[in-house]
Chain A
Amino acid sequence: MVELGQIALILSFMIAGYSSVVGFAGGMLNGRDLAASARWGFYSICPLLLLATASLIYAFVTNDFSVKYVAENSNLAMPKAYAWVAFYSGNAGSLLYISVAFSIMAAIAIRIVNSKLPYTSPYALGVMSMVLLFFLAVILFLANPLERHQIPLEDGQGMNPLLIHFGMFIHPPFQMLGLISVALPFSIAIGALLAGRGGRDEWVDQGRLWGMLSWLLLTTGLLLGAWWAYTILGWGGYWAWDPVENSALMPWLGMTAFVHSIMVQKRRGMFRMWNMVLIIVSFAMAQMGMFINRGGPVPSVHSFAESTMGWIFLAVMAATLFISLSIFIFRYDTLKSRSGLDSMISRESAFLAQNVLFLLIAFVTLWGTIFPIFSEAVDDTTMTIGQPFFNKVNGPLMVLLVLLMGIGPVLPWRKAGWSSINKMLRAPFVVASVVLVSSLIIGINQYWVLISFVVCSVPVTTVLQELVRGTKSRHSRGENWGFAFLSLLGANRPRYGGYIVHLSIVMLAIGITASSFYDVQKDVVMKPGDSEILGKYTFTYLEVSEKSYPDRLEETAKFEVWSGDKYIGYMYPYRAVYPEFQIAATRGAIHSTVLEDFYLVPSEFMEDGEAVFRVLINPLVLWMWASGPVLVLGTLVSLSPNSRKHRKRVRLPSMGMDQNPLGMAK
Chain B
Amino acid sequence: MRKNMFLKIIGLLSLQVVFLNTACFASNTDFISAEEKKVNSLNSVLMCPVCPGESIDQSQNEIATNMRTIVKDFVADGKSEEEIKDYFVDKYGPVILLEPATSGISMYAWIVPPVALGFAIIVVIVAINVMRRRQNVAGARNTYGLTEESISEKEKEKYFSVIDRISNE
- Measured CB to CB, the residues of A under 8 A from B are 233-235, 237, 240, 242-243, 267, 270, 298-301, 337, 339-344, 349, 352-353, 356-357, 359-360, 363-364, 367-368, 371, 375, 378-379, 381-389, 393, 397, 412-415, 417, 419-420, 427, 430-431, 434-435, 438-439, 442-444, 449, 453, 457, 460-461, 464-465, 468, 472, 491-492, 495, 510, 514, 517-523, 534-536, 584-586, 594-596, 603-604, 612, 617, 619-620, 648, 650, 652-653, 657, 661-662
* Contact indicator A461/B113 (Cβ below 8 Å): no
State in angstroms the CA–CA spacing of A384 and B88 once bound together.
Answer: 14
State in angstroms the CA–CA spacing of A617 and B40 once bound together.
Answer: 14
Which residue of the partner chain, among B9, B26, B53, B163, contacts A386 with CB atoms under 8 Å?
Answer: B53
Give the top 5 A-B pairs by smallest Cβ distance, nearest first. A340-B135, A386-B98, A299-B52, A340-B134, A341-B131
Which residue of the partner chain, among B6, B93, B99, B120, contacts A388 with CB atoms under 8 Å?
Answer: B99
State in angstroms the CA–CA spacing of A97 and B31 once bound together.
Answer: 49
Residue of A nearest to B97 (CB): A384
Contacts of A300 in B (CB 8 A): 52-53
Tell me whether A349 and B105 are in contact in the complex, defined as CB-CB below 8 angstroms, given that A240-B58, A389-B99, A453-B17 are known contacts: no
Contacts of A267 in B (CB 8 A): 167
* Contact indicator B53/A388 (Cβ below 8 Å): no
* Contact indicator A520/B29 (Cβ below 8 Å): yes
Which chain B residues in 38-55 approach chain A with CB under 8 Å? 40, 44-45, 47, 51-55
Tell me whether A596 and B44 are in contact in the complex, defined as CB-CB below 8 angstroms, given that A468-B5, A472-B5 are known contacts: no
* Contact indicator B117/A360 (Cβ below 8 Å): yes
Interface string of B110-122 (1 = CB under 8 A from A): 1011001100100
Which residue of the partner chain, among A341, A364, A465, A522, contacts B135 with CB atoms under 8 Å?
Answer: A341
* Contact indicator A520/B120 (Cβ below 8 Å): no
* Contact indicator B160/A415 (Cβ below 8 Å): yes
Interface residue? B67 (CB, 8 A): no
30 pairs, CB–CB < 8 Å, chain A vs chain B: A240-B53, A243-B53, A267-B167, A340-B133, A356-B120, A356-B123, A371-B100, A375-B105, A379-B104, A382-B94, A382-B95, A384-B47, A384-B52, A385-B98, A386-B45, A388-B98, A389-B100, A414-B160, A415-B160, A427-B10, A435-B14, A442-B21, A449-B24, A464-B12, A520-B29, A596-B26, A661-B162, A661-B165, A662-B162, A662-B169
Contacts of B27 in A (CB 8 A): 514, 518-520, 535, 595-596, 617, 619
Contacts of A662 in B (CB 8 A): 162, 165-166, 169
State in angstroms the CA–CA spacing of A604 and B68 once bound together.
Answer: 13
Contacts of B58 in A (CB 8 A): 233, 235, 237, 240
Tell me whether A491 and B163 are in contact in the complex, defined as CB-CB below 8 angstroms, given that A240-B54, A339-B138 are known contacts: no
Minimum CB–CB distance from B93 to chain A (whole Å) comes to 7
* Contact indicator B17/A299 (Cβ below 8 Å): no
* Contact indicator A382/B93 (Cβ below 8 Å): yes
* Contact indicator A595/B109 (Cβ below 8 Å): no
Interface residue? B143 (CB, 8 A): no
**Interchain pairs with CB closer than 8 A, number:** 261
Residue of A nearest to B31 (CB): A535
- Measured CB to CB, the residues of B under 8 A from A are 5-6, 9-10, 12-14, 16-18, 20-29, 31-32, 36, 40, 44-45, 47, 51-55, 57-60, 65, 68, 72, 93-101, 104-106, 108-110, 112-113, 116-117, 120, 123-124, 127-128, 131-136, 138, 153, 156-158, 160-169
Contacts of B16 in A (CB 8 A): 460
* Contact indicator B100/A595 (Cβ below 8 Å): no
Tell me whether A427 and B6 are in contact in the complex, defined as CB-CB below 8 angstroms, given that A301-B51, A386-B53, A389-B109 are known contacts: yes
* Contact indicator B14/A242 (Cβ below 8 Å): no
Tell me whether A413 and B167 are in contact in the complex, defined as CB-CB below 8 angstroms, given that A364-B113, A584-B60 are known contacts: yes
* Contact indicator A417/B132 (Cβ below 8 Å): no
Residue of A nearest to B106 (CB): A383
State in angstroms the CA–CA spacing of A174 and B155 once bound together.
Answer: 51
